Each structure stands twice: as C-alpha cells, then as structure tokens.
Amino acid sequence: MHNATGDQAGKHGLALREYIVLSALHKTPGLTQGELGRALSLDKSTLMSRLDRLELKSLVVRRNAPGDRRLRMPEITARGEILRAAVAEASAAAEASVLDGFSPDDVASLRRMLFAVIGDSEDRGSCL
C-alpha cells in the first residue's frame, strides 16, 4: 500500500511524504509546524523542505499561531484539499483492488492487526 499510495501521489505531482503532510493537515488542522513534525516523526529540516515545496505549489500556507507569533501553523489550501482528496480516492481504489480477493471479515482482521502493531488511530481508512 505504501508503494501504491506513492504511485498515486506521483501521478498527481506529489511525493509520498508531501501527500502524507497534506493528509495530516486535513485530519488534524491547527497544528504548529513542531507539532506536525512530531506527529509525522519528521525531523525539522525534512518537514520544512516538504512544507516549502507544498507552499510553492500553493497547496499549503503558513500563518503565525494565534497568541505566539514565533510559531507557524501550516494550513492546507482549497487547492491542496482537492489534490489530497484525489490522491486519497485513487489510493482507496488501489487498496480495494488489492484486497478484492479477501472477505470483509478478513479485511477487518487485517486492519485490527495493523492497528495493534502501529497503534490505534481514528483513521479507519487506508492501511498506509
């Protein structure tokens, strides 16, 4: 699924990590850059380079945090949301194709095992 999602992101002009950043901003808006980096386990330089690229493509904007102008808060733009949704839809279709031969119970078991390994999440979507 990692490769399939990376392929779908690439078809839409994004690197996989850029798509992951957009997805995180979609699911948990209001994070500072530091909080986003910790949530994604990305070091500061890697996150900044991804945000710079996304900002150059007008997919993300960075604003000062209310109450502390030293902190920056990246936000997904309308254009970024459209692109993120397109990659998510294409990735979901790729996942469905891969899992097509399994019963719904088998898929549910796989998801339970994955969440047991990686930790619980509110995202009940992609295996990525």
DSSP string, 82-101: HHHHHHHHHHHHHHHHHTTT
Beta bridge partners of 60: 76
Fold exhibited by the domain 2-101: Arc Repressor Mutant, subunit A (1.10.10)
Domain locations in the chain? Answer: 2-101
- Give the predicted TM-score (pTM) of the model: 0.84
pLDDT in tens, the chain (128 residues): 888 899 999 999 999 999 999 999 999 999 999 999 999 988 999 999 999 999 999 999 999 988 888 999 999 999 999 999 999 999 999 988 989 999 999 999 988 998 888 776 554 444 44
CB contact at 8 A, 25 and 41: no
Which H or E run includes 68?
A: strand 68-76
- The torsion angles phi and psi of 15, rounded to 5 degrees, stand at -80, 155
Amino acid letter for position 43: D
